[in-house]
């Protein structure tokens, strides 16, 4: 039951993008098309789960025993950057069209504060490794869900008549705010 609460809480109630406002750069940057959003969501799921596992193990078995737990943020950033490079190399070899579609946005995962935020939240909430992996996976799924919903709304807005002053970024920010309000409706479920 505890894992179900973590999953529901992470995806809907405390969505990493829409209620905690982490990962806004890729959320706004990659949400023009659903196909690109799917690819970015998959990459974020992979990187977030892997980063959480690696950072948890590094902190538990290296940083704390050596008495340098205060270095965790720097170490976490370096680990995440290395993992993103690995994902970039894998995508380049396995799925070149997806790699080209993501373009400059793939390196945004390196600076995606959602990945770093989840790694740090796992430590702050004192989760075990399994709980941390479930938490990271659920947050990544929540990120992907928000990204897909927003991409769908942005594709739909392309077909609508929008006043000239609201086209582009202004209407996107208004829609993102409304989507955030919709997710805030889940508050109190968990």
Residues 58-109 pLDDT 10s: 999 999 999 999 999 999 999 898 888 887 888 889 888 877 776 666 777 7
Q: For residue range 27-60, what is the model confidence (pLDDT) as tens digits?
A: 888 788 898 888 888 888 888 999 999 999 999 9
What pLDDT does residue 102 have?
67
What pLDDT does residue 105 have?
66
Per-residue three-class SS string for the chain: CHHHHHHHHHHHHCCCCCCCCCCHHHHHHCCCCHHHHHHHHHHHHHHHHHHHHHHHHHHHHHHCCCCCHHHHHHHHHHHHHHHHHHHHHHHHHHCHHHHHHHHHHHHHHCCCHHHHHHHHHHHHCCCCHHHHHHHHHHHHHHHHHHHHHHHHHHHHHHCCCCCHHHCCHHHHHHHHHHHHHHHHCCCCCC
| 150 occurs within a structural domain | yes
| 177 occurs within a structural domain | yes
| 189 occurs within a structural domain | no
| 188 occurs within a structural domain | no
| 106 occurs within a structural domain | yes
| 190 occurs within a structural domain | no
Q: Which domain holds residue 121?
A: 2-183
Indicate the number of domains in the chain: 1
pLDDT beyond 80 at 111: no
What pLDDT does residue 169 have?
86
pLDDT beyond 80 at 10: yes
């Amino acid at each position: 039951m505890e894992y179900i609460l973590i999953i529901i809480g992470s995806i809907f109630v405390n969505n990493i993008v829409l209620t905690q406002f982490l990962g806004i750069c890729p959320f706004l940057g990659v949400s023009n098309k659903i196909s690109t959003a799917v690819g970015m969501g998959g990459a974020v799921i992979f990187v977030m789960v892997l980063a959480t596992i690696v950072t948890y193990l590094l902190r538990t078995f290296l940083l704390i025993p050596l008495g340098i737990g205060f270095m965790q943020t720097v170490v976490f950033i370096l680990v995440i950057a290395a993992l993103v490079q690995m994902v970039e190399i894998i995508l380049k070899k396995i799925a070149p069209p997806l790699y080209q579609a993501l373009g400059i946005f793939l390196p945004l995962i390196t600076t995606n504060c959602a990945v770093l935020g989840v790694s740090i939240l796992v430590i702050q909430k004192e989760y075990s490794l399994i709980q941390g992996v479930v938490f990271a996976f659920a947050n990544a799924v929540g990120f992907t869900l928000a990204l897909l919903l927003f991409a769908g709304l942005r594709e739909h807005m392309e077909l609508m008549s929008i006043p000239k002053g609201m086209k582009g970024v202004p209407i996107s920010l208004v829609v993102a705010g409304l989507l955030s309000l919709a997710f805030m409706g889940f508050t109190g479920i968990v």
